[in-house]
Amino acid sequence: MRTHGTNGTTTNAGADYGANFQTSNRAGLGDIRVVGHYSGLFDDKTSGLILGVKLATGETGADFTGGVAAGQTGVSLDPGLQIGTGSTDVILGAYTSGAVSTYGWFVQGTLQHAVSPLATEAGGVTYRPGDAYLVNTGIRYAGFGATISPMLQLNFIHREYDQGSGVPIDQLTGSPMSGGNLAYLSPGVSVRLGGGTSVYGFVQVPVYQNVGSLQLVPSYTATIGIHQSL
């Protein structure tokens, strides 16, 4: 579910910000990630490899739904604001983990690279999201037993510039309005349900955000997931 508002568009350029305000409101299935972990590198199963794919299942053609640009042909949302990227990406990485007393720790790094661009419009507008490098590290506390495990993570993301004719360009600097470095501190908890199934949730709170040109960045991100061990 994604909502968005902006004071700047290419329409009604002579009006003040109040009359120029545009909004969008979209809901739907986003891009699906299918990721596998191989832990057979060592006998203790503490280190392994990550291999996955991100599928182009999310919508990419959303337009403004409110304001003077609503319903106008050729006034679409920027590719970075769409629910999906329209690209198929490969995900490669590795991880390692260990334990000290009642604390467990892990370090994980991944690279996500788009292998297919998207032609979004009849005019041949293309968009390819930039490579994303993610490094996650964290600790969990096992003093409450095997059922409930509080955890704390540090997440760092480096994104390269997006590519293609659909990437917005800053008119002052000439740089693409994409890419940057972001770091989040993420408290959370994991709960084992039995049968190799556990659920987890955490909230990412930004501690550092340095992006290229003018971009929207989240004030926080909430994540809920299910983990199944085979």
Q: Are the beta carbons of 52 and 58 closer than 8 angstroms?
A: no
The pair of structure tokens assigned to 92 is 């490669």
- Please name which of 139, 228, 142 lies closest in space to residue 187, comparing C-alpha atoms: 139
The string of pLDDT tens digits covering residues 108-167 is 999 999 988 665 554 567 788 999 999 999 999 988 887 899 999 999 999 999 888 778
Question: What's the rounded mean pLDDT across residues 214-227?
Answer: 87
Higher-confidence position of 190 and 78 = 190
Q: Provide DSSP, 67-116.
A: STTTT-TT-BPPGGGSS-----EEEEEEEEEEEETTEEEEEEEEEEEE-S
Where residue 11 falls among pLDDT bands split at 50, 70, 90? very low
- Please name which of 86, 100, 188 lies closest in space to residue 128, comparing C-alpha atoms: 86
- Domains annotated for the chain, with CATH where assigned, are 30-64+73-228 (2.40.160)
* Cα 153 to Cα 136: distance, rounded to the nearest angstrom: 7
Where residue 3 falls among pLDDT bands split at 50, 70, 90? confident
Q: Are the beta carbons of 59 and 120 closer than 8 angstroms?
A: no
- Please name which of 153, 183, 162, 50 lies closest in space to residue 109, comparing C-alpha atoms: 50
* Cα 143 to Cα 140: distance, rounded to the nearest angstrom: 9
* Cα 167 to Cα 177: distance, rounded to the nearest angstrom: 7
Backbone φ, ψ for residue 88 (5° rounding): -95, 125
